[in-house]
Structure 1
Amino acid sequence: MGCSGSSAVKKDKDTQLAQLHQSTALQCEIKPHYFVLEIGFGKGQGLEEALKHLQGGSGRVIGTETSQKLLDEVTKKLKDDIATGTLELDLCLPETLTYINSMFDCVYNVNGFFYWEDINTTVQEIYRILRAGCLFLTCVHKKKNELTLKEQQELKNPDFTIQQYADMLKEHGFVKIKIQEHRNAHSGFKYQTVQAFARRRK
């Protein structure tokens, strides 16, 4: 019975995480011509949602991951989109993004800052690659008391608060920063988003 219960909990967590990636991409209001980046795409559900909004347009979705295993899994699952050039997957650390300045119309992530080795540099990099006036969206649902010991050990910044994160975004030039509470329409679990826009350059 213990194993069965553990399996059910893991399934619930996986379902919640999938819904978070999907809802985050959905809230970006992606247009068909957008260049979109998801940092830490996990199992690819957010990429799939983003790709739906590019149909008939000239846009492109790029996803980054630090896990070779996840990269291989999602590459296999979304091979058709990769073959058409609509999707690109890259293995890299978030603080070492190799994209050109002002490349993206939208950047988003789920629970990213808990795992980033260098939050400060990562935020600088995101600001650099985001076009002026465009959206950077972070979705957050991470409670330490709901994590296994192994999951807690994987966190780089377990005590970093969402308000500290919002303050850091402001320090690096983001504006119109808004923290919002949400409830998932399917399963009812609560989560937060941090919405921020790159300041328009003069």
Structure 2
Amino acid sequence: MADPQRTITLIVVDDHPVVRDGLRGMFDSAPGFEVLGEAADGVAGVDLATRLDPDVVLMDLRMPGGGGVDAIAELTRRGARSKVLVLTTYDTDSDTLPAIEAGATGYLLKDAPREELFTAVRAAADGRTVLSPAVASRLVSRVRTPAAAREEPLSAREREVLALVAKGTPNRGIAAELFISEATVKTHLTHLYAKLGVKDRAAAVAVAYDRGILG
């Protein structure tokens, strides 16, 4: 858990100057945050995040000159320390799941209340998966399948893996925590995805919270 007294650094990546200005003003006026810089597209965002090493990157998804999903994937490939929190306009955005799969810590809608956004950035800085209630509900409805209705119970080990996924722990970290191989972690993930009727980590977390598997 991050020190609640420390200042969380962030950068804003969005192609709309008004959005960037609004977010910078919001965070600059709140204690405990420092906006290190801004970028207008994903390519510039990756460069900025690499140079400034912020705790959190607020990332738009659809931007001319370089979209958010590709930028997130590149930051993940480079092993960036920064956590990416996607801010999307629509909860139906088809880029949302690919963004999570690419390595984003979570996502919110741009109309999220100030305090929700502040809380989400703090959570993202701690490595916790962030799903706004509206987006989580939409995500759950999108990933449900007839097979999921049978709700096959998760094993104790699968629940342990899922709990670590919910904390934002990567496969390597899960393997170290549970003293198992990364290949075994992937096998557990495949099984719990099938039982929950989902295809990725964020959807698994959303469905698990919805069903009360995660408290």
Query: Do these two structures clear the TM 0.5 threshold for a shared fold by scoring above it?
Result: no
Q: Scaled by the length of structure 1, what TM-score is found?
A: 0.37
Q: Scaled by the length of structure 2, what TM-score is found?
A: 0.35
